[in-house]
Structure 1
Amino acid sequence: MNILITGASSGIGRAVAAHLLDKGWEVGLLARSRDALEDLANGRDKALVLEADVTDPAAVEAAFDAHVARFGRIDVLFNNAGIFGKAAPIDEIDLDTWHQVVSVNLNGMFYCARAAFARMRRQAPQGGRIINNGSISAHVPRDGSVCYTTTKHAITGMTRTLSLDGRAFNIACGQIDIGNARTPMVEDQIYRANASGKNPDATMDVRNVAEAVEFMATRDLEANVQFMTVMATTMPYIGRG
């Protein structure tokens, strides 16, 4: 089995990539930071460094071509790359921030899903699996998260549509919604919560996410985990409203 992981240089993407490499998977590692990807690959034959920016459609297409050239096909895409952006009410969000978050979290995920779908549709045997990284915020937002939350709601719509459109081509699409895995992005949110006098949410080991993605990725294509929520047990999601 092989998988292409976007945002593989840090956080959730890196944790999932390291876990699957240790399990013997062939893994395409896509991110902007070549040095971080090289460090993760660490000379392993089954790791392929794909330096690319998900907001650049041509770079995305070239990376997917390189992945298929190396591994013969693409079995799974973990469509993961994303950023949070500035935490503030909408009238304090500058338009550059809005466009940056949309460019990565929505456009970038669209470009990668599009590239994966096209190759899965045309490869033999036909089919594959796309796993989109949603968020708890795809369901219930935090305060001050208008950019991030808006894009994550859009990803849920993308997931549902790809599930429907993929049926004719043996392409499954599911979404993992993650609540507070310990990554640099979450640690930054905790730091900001502490600095503002708020009680930060509970967190969980990112290993739990890596194992959940592996479970989703290893189902037979006749089965699909449509949505999975993996969260720190005591974080305020249930009852957040």
Structure 2
Amino acid sequence: MTGGNSGLGEAISRAFGASGARVAVNYVTHPEAAQAVVSELQAGGQDALALPADVADPAQVGQMFAALDERWGGLDVLVNNAGIDGPRALGWEADPDAWRRVLEVNLVGPFLCAREALRRLTRQRSGVVINISSVHERIAWSGYSAYTASKAGLSMLSQTLAQEAGPFGVRVLCLAPGAVRTPINAAVWHDPRGLADLLGKVPLGRLGEPRDIAGLAVFLASDAAAYVTGTTVFVDGGMTDYPSFMQGG
């Protein structure tokens, strides 16, 4: 679980632990938060460990997977969750280094982690890679061209890896949240006007909760979803259903 020490990653880590899985919680900052998640899982009787790595760094990613090999002899499920949205800027005003960093974390990072995971999963001829995408793999978002580009790229990366890994019995797919109540967007849902605007984009009329995403991630990794691969599963309350057309075109 990359980026497993806060927000959606933390919720997904807990959900996998509750299902009986061994959980590796990756982090790049706030090691105390990662250790808190690990300690909670261990207190519940689950085997868990915290693993530091910048997912955009191939050497650090390699060391992280080597640590998994040493501890558990490999893995069965990779959840690529680590991601950033970057500073808001119109495309022609964006800082190239900041723009590139978003792509490195959100697209190169999942590739590097999937690369290591698939080397192992294709060899054992089983396993699942779940890439946490976003509704913004489909919906444009002014001011965040790096983020939208990274998530659209992640979708096609997932489809291509699924095509490549399918003959080895390995599934690859995206899970795309919409507006979910997490610390990263707290400034929006704490502001009444911001919240009202956001809810106007969601036909179900509520924000998603981390558990809405976490439960589906566990399902998609399970044998109950054994025929699901090469696609994006949206969990967005209908945000990608063009709610502005609810009153006609």
Q: Which residue of 2 aligns with 1:200?
A: 198
Instruction: Report sequence identity in percent.
Output: 30
CA contact (8 A) 2:2 2:82 kept: yes
- Aligned residue for 1:223? 227
Q: Shift of residue 194 of structure 1?
A: 4.7
Partner of 2:94: 93
**TM-score (normalizing by structure 2):** 0.85
Determine helix, strand or coil for the equivalent of 2:54: coil
- Whichever residue aligns with residue 17 of structure 1, its letter is S
1:125-140 aligned at under 5 Å gives the runs: 126-140=125-139
Which residue does 1:212 correspond to in 2? 216
Aligned CA-pair RMSD: 2.3
Question: Per residue, is there more helix in 1 or in 2?
Answer: 2
The offset of 1:223, in angstroms, is: 1.7
Q: How does 1:52-201 map to 2 (within 5 A)?
A: 52-123=53-124, 126-190=125-189, 194=193, 199-201=197-199
The number of residues matched between the two structures is: 233
Deviations 1:52-102 (A, max 9, x none): 111111111111121122222211101111101122311221112101101
Q: Secondary structure at the match of 1:42?
A: helix
Q: Where in structure 1 are there 5+ consecutive unaligned residues?
A: none
**8 Å contact 1:172–1:221 — kept in the other structure?**
no
**Normalised TM-score (structure 1):** 0.88
**How many angstroms apart in 2 are the aligned matches of 1:73 and 1:223?**
23
For 1:32, the equivalent position in structure 2 comes to 28
Asked if structure 1 preserves the Cα contact closer than 8 Å seen for 2:219 and 2:225, the reply is no
Which consecutive segments of 4 or more residues in structure 1 shift more than 4 A?
189-195
Q: Secondary structure at the match of 2:119?
A: helix
Say whether the 8 Å CA contact 1:9–1:36 is kept in structure 2: yes
| Kept in 1: contact 2:16–2:23 (CA 8 A) | yes
Separation in 2, partners of 1:73, 1:17 = 17
Flag the 1:169–1:236 CA change in 2: closer, same or farther, 3 A: closer
